[in-house]
Amino acid sequence: MPTDWFQTFFTDIYPEYWTGWEALGPERTEKEASFVVQALNIQPPARILDLACGHGRHSLALAKQGFRVVGVDLTQRFLDMGQRAAQEAGVEIEWHRQDMRRIEFNQEFDAVINMFSAFGYFEDENDDLEVLRRVHRALKPGGKFSIDLINRDSVMARFAPVAVVREEEGVLVLERRDFEPLTGINHSTVHVFKNGERRDHHLTCRLFNLTEINWFLSRAGLRFLCAYGSYEGEELDRLSHRLLVVADKPCAHLGR
């Protein structure tokens, strides 16, 4: 399994088959952006870092509300898509191509968001921890952090080794999964069928439950505040599909 799968997956298969997916359209994006604003209790013109912003759907929604948004992603194709969308919408967003483990912001943001399971991609858990340490550094004292993950407890309760991810408009996307209990990493092979052709891609993602992500947050100097099980603000339980966690950078950690 390639450890740098994200270098090609988000350039090759993902933009073509996910960014235009109706299920990820404006209605869902607005709901997710509204959840972030309410959960973090922030108001424009607060400065927000959208970490691993993808093609910028949340960055754009937040910028339209008057927030000052910086989008960071490793995939240049995504950043180009986001910039075009921002220009068409008449909003200003600052875009940076960077590895999330290497961001150098220092106490610049009122909030940092990491949306749609854009965390846990690295083979070494120390890399995941480094991402959160960089988030801590990027936040102003008292700044808030929101991370949006798939709830590992729910996945394990309903684990399916093979699943249909998408089936519409002549496109069929299947996913084969193999979970490693020791590492918490889910190995997936995505098969995309379209026009009689098949394309395959391999990816990995570490899955977290609330106990585990709280441990990572604490190690990075971030303080857990609350968790939700949906974008409607429902209480988290073991069968909640999403794991939406809110943390902050305590003001007492000025010297970190």
Residues 155-172 have pLDDT tens digits of 999 999 999 988 877 888
Whether residues 220 and 200 share a domain: the answer is no
1 in any annotated domain: no
Range of the domain at 192: 155-204
Tokens encoding 166: 């998408």
Interval 220-239: pLDDT, tens: 999 999 999 999 999 999 99
Instruction: Report CA-CA distances (Å) from 166 to 11, 175, 190, 192.
Output: 19, 10, 11, 9
55 in any annotated domain: yes
> Which residue, among 235, 203, 228, 190, has the nearest Cα to 6 in the 3D structure?
203
Whether residues 230 and 121 share a domain: the answer is yes
> Which residue, among 206, 208, 175, 203, has the nearest Cα to 3 in the 3D structure?
203
Whether residues 120 and 223 share a domain: the answer is yes
Whether residues 193 and 220 share a domain: the answer is no
Average pLDDT over the chain reads 91
Inform me whether the pLDDT recorded for 8 exceeds 90: no
Concatenated DSSP letters of 35-92 = HHHHHHT--TT-EEEEET-TT-HHHHHHHHTT-EEEEEES-HHHHHHHHHHHHHHT--
Whether residues 91 and 214 share a domain: the answer is yes
Full-model pTM? 0.92
Instruction: Give the three-class secondary structure for 250.
Output: coil
The DSSP letter of residue 236 is: P
Tokens encoding 100: 């999330």
Banded pLDDT at 15 (limits 50, 70, 90)? low
Question: What total number of domains does the chain contain?
Answer: 2
Euclidean distance between CA atoms 36 and 148, whole angstroms: 10
Of residues 198 and 23, the one with the higher pLDDT is 198
163 in any annotated domain: yes
Whether residues 146 and 164 share a domain: the answer is no
Banded pLDDT at 71 (limits 50, 70, 90)? very high
Whether residues 76 and 19 share a domain: the answer is yes
Whether residues 80 and 140 share a domain: the answer is yes
